[in-house]
Amino acid sequence: MASQRYKLTLAYRGTHYHGWQRQSFTDNYTGPKPPAGHGIPTIQEIVSRAIEYTTRHPIRLVGSSRTDSGVHAKGQLAHFDTTITQIPPDDFRRAINNALPDDIIIRKVQPVDDSFDVITCAQSKRYQYAIWTETDRPVFFPDLAWHRWKPLDVASMREAARRLVGEHDFASFSRPHHKREHTIRTVRSCAISQRGPLLVIGVEGNGFLWNMVRIIAGTLVEVGSGRFEPADIDAMLAARDRRAAGMTAPPQGLYLQWIQTFEPE
Amino acid sequence: MASQRYKLTLAYRGTHYHGWQRQSFTDNYTGPKPPAGHGIPTIQEIVSRAIEYTTRHPIRLVGSSRTDSGVHAKGQLAHFDTTITQIPPDDFRRAINNALPDDIIIRKVQPVDDSFDVITCAQSKRYQYAIWTETDRPVFFPDLAWHRWKPLDVASMREAARRLVGEHDFASFSRPHHKREHTIRTVRSCAISQRGPLLVIGVEGNGFLWNMVRIIAGTLVEVGSGRFEPADIDAMLAARDRRAAGMTAPPQGLYLQWIQTFEPE
> Could you write out the DSSP letters of every residue in B9-59?
EEEE-GGGSS-SS-----TT--SPPPPTT--SS-HHHHHHHHHHHHHSS--
Alpha carbon distance A98, A87 (integer Å): 16
Which of A104 and B38 is assigned the larger pLDDT? A104
Query: Chain B closest CA to A140's CA: distance in Å?
Result: 5
- Could you say which residues of chain B have pLDDT below 50? none
Within this chain, do residues A130 and A256 fall inside the same structural domain, yes or no?
A: yes
Query: Chain B closest CA to A234's CA: distance in Å?
Result: 36
Which domain CATH number covers B243? 3.30.70.660
Within this chain, do residues B131 and B39 fall inside the same structural domain, yes or no?
A: no
Within this chain, do residues B113 and B134 fall inside the same structural domain, yes or no?
A: no
A contact residues 123-142, partner B, Cβ 8 Å cutoff: 136-137, 139-142
Q: What pLDDT digit, counting tens, does each position of A10-29 carry?
A: 999 999 999 999 877 666 67
pLDDT reading at A106 higher than 80: yes
Instruction: Choose the mutation target among B139, B141, B149 for the interface with A, i.e. most A CBs under 10 Å.
Output: B139
The pairing of strands A72-82 and A254-261 is: parallel
The ipTM, to two decimals, is: 0.86
Does the beta-carbon distance from A103 to B141 stay under 8 Å? no
Within this chain, do residues B39 and B130 fall inside the same structural domain, yes or no?
A: no
Share of chain A above pLDDT 70, in %: 94
Give chain A's count of helices (H) and strands (E).
5, 10
Within this chain, do residues B90 and B8 fall inside the same structural domain, yes or no?
A: yes
Query: Chain A closest CA to B72's CA: distance in Å?
Result: 9
Within this chain, do residues B67 and B105 fall inside the same structural domain, yes or no?
A: yes
Query: Chain B closest CA to A208's CA: distance in Å?
Result: 24
Average the pLDDT over A73-99 and give the result. Answer: 95
How high is the pLDDT of residue A86? 86
Does the beta-carbon distance from B11 to A144 stay under 8 Å? no
Contact indicator for B29, B15 with CB cutoff of 8 Å: no
Give the domain-ending residue among A58, A88, A120: A120
Sign of CA dihedral A158, A159, A165, A167: negative
Q: Chain B contacts of A11, Cβ < 8 Å?
A: 139-140
How high is the pLDDT of residue A180? 73
Within this chain, do residues B53 and B142 fall inside the same structural domain, yes or no?
A: no
Instruction: Choose the mutation target among B98, B140, B195, B254 for the interface with A, i.e. most A CBs under 10 Å.
Output: B140
Contact indicator for B200, B128 with CB cutoff of 8 Å: yes
Query: Chain B closest CA to A58's CA: distance in Å?
Result: 26
Angle at alpha carbon of residue B89, lines to B88 and B92, rounded to 5°:
90
Alpha carbon distance A44, A51 (integer Å): 10
The CB-side HSE value for A20 (13 A sphere, CA atoms) comes to 18
How high is the pLDDT of residue B25? 67
Which domain CATH number covers A104? 3.30.70.580
Q: Chain B contacts of A13, Cβ < 8 Å?
A: 139-140
Give the domain-ending residue among B89, B120, B151: B120
Alpha carbon distance B116, B107 (integer Å): 19
**Structural domains counted in chain B:** 2
Does the beta carbon of A103 lie under 8 angstroms from any beta carbon of chain B? yes
Within this chain, do residues A94 and A163 fall inside the same structural domain, yes or no?
A: no
Out of B105, B141, B144, the one facing A137 most closely (by C-beta) is B105
The pairing of strands A72-82 and A4-12 is: antiparallel
Q: Chain A contacts of B105, Cβ < 8 Å?
A: 136-137, 139
Which of A32 and B51 is assigned the larger pLDDT? B51
Residue in chain B closest to A107 (alpha carbons) equals: B136
What positions of B carry a catalytic annotation?
68
Q: What is the mean pLDDT of chain A?
A: 93
Within this chain, do residues A34 and A150 fall inside the same structural domain, yes or no?
A: no
Torsion, Cα of B55, B56, B58, B59 (10° steps):
0
Residue in chain B closest to A104 (alpha carbons) equals: B139
Q: What pLDDT digit, counting tens, does each position of A113-163 carry?
A: 999 999 999 999 999 999 999 999 999 999 999 999 999 999 999 999 999
**In this structure, how many other beta carbons lie within 10 angstroms of the beta carbon of residue A87?**
17
| B265 domain-assigned | no
| A265 domain-assigned | no
How high is the pLDDT of residue B27? 61
Alpha carbon distance B208, B231 (integer Å): 22
Does the beta carbon of A12 lie under 8 angstroms from any beta carbon of chain B? yes
Within this chain, do residues A150 and A27 fall inside the same structural domain, yes or no?
A: no
Average the pLDDT over A191-218 and give the result. Answer: 96
Does the beta carbon of A102 lie under 8 angstroms from any beta carbon of chain B? yes
Query: Domain containing B87: what range?
Result: 4-120
Within this chain, do residues A145 and A250 fall inside the same structural domain, yes or no?
A: yes
Does the beta-carbon distance from B103 to A12 stay under 8 Å? no
Q: Chain A contacts of B72, Cβ < 8 Å?
A: 140
How high is the pLDDT of residue A25? 67
The dihedrals phi and psi of B216, each to the nearest 5 degrees, come to -60, -50
Buried b (16+ CB within 10 A) or exposed e, A150-169: eebebebbbbbbebbbeebe
Out of A11, A104, A142, the one facing B103 most closely (by C-beta) is A142
Contact indicator for A156, A230 with CB cutoff of 8 Å: yes
How high is the pLDDT of residue B98? 96
Residue type at B14?
Answer: G
How would you class B157 by CB atoms within 10 Å of its CB: exposed for 0-12, middle for 13-18, buried for 19 or more? buried
Q: What pLDDT digit, counting tens, does each position of A151-200 carry?
A: 999 999 999 999 999 999 999 999 887 677 789 999 999 999 999 999 99
Distance of CA B38 to the CA centre of its chain: 23
How high is the pLDDT of residue B37? 64
In this complex, how many residue pairs, one in chain A and one in chain B, have their CB atoms less than 8 Å apart?
A: 39
Average the pLDDT over A241-263 and give the result. Answer: 96
Give the domain-ending residue among B120, B153, B178: B120
Within this chain, do residues A151 and A233 fall inside the same structural domain, yes or no?
A: yes
| B148 domain-assigned | yes
How high is the pLDDT of residue B51? 97
Instruction: Kindly name the residue from A68, A81, A103, A153 that is annotated as catalytic.
Output: A68
